[in-house]
Amino acid sequence: MAKKATTPASDVYTAILALACLAVLAAAVFVTLTCMDYYGSDALIKIAQIPR
């Protein structure tokens, strides 16, 4: 089956989606750094563990 080349219909909406993805990524990075700053690097791992 021949590979169908996908092309965006509009660059504007692509830019909007890219901007939204960058914002979400930046927020995730900010939250991660803040959590590491507050509670240490182990907090990202321990936060998912079941408390004993």
Partner 1 sequence: MSILTKIVAVLLSVFSLLLAGMFVVFVGNANNYRQWYEEEKTLNIALQADLTIKGEQYNVQVNKCAELDKKMRQELQSLEAGKNQLAYDLHKSEQLAQKFQADADSWKGVMTGFEQSVRILQASLSQTQGQLDKARTQGIKDQKELNQITADLYEKIVQLQSLEAERRRLLEQKKELENRAAAGGAYAQKVIPVTPLNRTASPAAIAPAGTDVKGLVVEVQQNLITLSVGSADGVKERMVFHITRGDRFLCDVIVTNVDINRCAGVLDLIQQSPQVGDTASTRL
Please tell me the distance from the alpha carbon of residue 29 to that of residue 34, in angstroms, as a whole number: 8
Number of residues that bind partner 1 (CB under 8 A): 19
Nearer to partner 1, 9 or 50 (CB): 9
Is there a contact between 36 and 43 (Cβ–Cβ < 8 Å)?
yes
Residue 9 binds to partner 1 (criterion: CB under 8 A): yes
Nearer to partner 1, 39 or 44 (CB): 39
Please tell me the distance from the alpha carbon of residue 35 to that of residue 38, in angstroms, as a whole number: 5
CB 48 to partner 1: min, Å: 17
Residue 36 binds to partner 1 (criterion: CB under 8 A): no
